[in-house]
A = this chain, B = another copy of it.
Amino acid sequence: MTPVVRIDLDRLRANIASMAASEIPLRPHVKTHKIPEIARLQLAAGARGLTVATVGEAEVFADVTDDIFIAYPLWADDRLAALSRRVSLTVGCDSIEAASRLSLIDAPVPLLIEVDSGHHRSGVPVEEVDALARQILDLGLEVRGAFTFPGHSYQPGQTAASDEAAALSQAGEILRDLGIRDLILSGGSTPSARAADATVLTELRPGVYVFNDAQQLELGTCGWEDIALTVRATVVSRRVDLHQVILDAGSKILGSDRPAWASGFGRIMGVPDARVTAVSEHHGTVAWPPGEPLPAIGEEVDVIPNHVCPVLNLVDEVEVSDGSRWVVAARGKN
């Protein structure tokens, strides 16, 4: 039955081992895969703990590790307090409002201040770290350090890794001046991970590297041989006049993420010049390379999604190349 998400276990293991060789300790972000079996492989390869995006994800992965960082500016509630009695938790924070709320739950947990290193999403500008940290410390909360997501690494030609190092370095100086010791300075994204500054960062939180995807391929972060996840799809329709085929994999399994610089909505394994030019919910339109014969209706092809994280969130389980099936245990844990 197609469409189905398939994982190449050898490539997955190789990707995990390769990133584990990083000089900077890893706390991989498991929102990418949401699968306990993969988190166990990451921990066995030396990861110091896991990163998640939500309390719901943390609840799932509390069965796998006792050290979880929720890299998100949480609006906390007692569900967090309950979880903190099961595992060692750290949370993100970028406002005095969220810190005040955190200080009121049953069991306040330590936090990392989120710094904006250029992605302009959440996080405070580094010049606001001093004032915010002082206010948070006055609440009696424990500040362990700072983190940033250099998300502008998802644009070609960006200086994300150096921006990340600069922001964390400055935040680190400010926090040290406030008397905080054994600082955590946490950064990282898959595109910037290999350029991350080991003289500044104390941990890295890449996620996508376990699988890679068409975005990483087009950013040059990985090669075709590093793609560990594909969506197997069946050709259900074709148009000889348009030299295009329609696959039974659309946005409901591929997602519809497409940065402006991407060449389409995904790539086809083994057909480097094909492009997924459009996705609707259950149709993927593929422009086949001129001169190459169209695949037959009924033929199966393997699609490399643009962005792998949403894909895992769209299926209940995945097929693994060793014949097993893994449940996407944290699917939908928003």
Contact = CB atoms under 8 A, between A and B. Distances in A.
A237 B313 contact: no
B252 A310 contact: yes
Contact of A281 (B123, B242, B310): B310
Given A101-B298, A281-B31, A316-B332, A123 B237 contact: yes
Contacts of A315: 332, 334
A242 B89 CA distance: 31
B313 A246 contact: no
Copies of this chain, how many?
A: 2
With a 10 A CB-CB cut-off, give which of A75, A246, A253, A310 has the most chain B CB atoms: A75
A233 to B, nearest CB: 10
For this complex, into which size category does the number of interface residues on chain A fall? Answer: 35 or more
Interface stretch (A90-98, A164-172, A195-203): A90-98
A74 interface: yes
Interface in A277-334: 278, 280-283, 285, 296-298, 309-310, 313-316, 332, 334
A283 B121 contact: yes
A278 B123 CA distance: 15
6 contacts: A54-B282, A95-B237, A101-B298, A122-B246, A122-B283, A315-B334
Interface of A: 1, 3, 31, 53-54, 72-75, 77, 79, 94-95, 97-98, 101, 114, 116, 120-123, 125, 151, 234, 236-239, 241-242, 246, 248, 251-253, 255-258, 278, 280-283, 285, 296-298, 309-310, 313-316, 332, 334
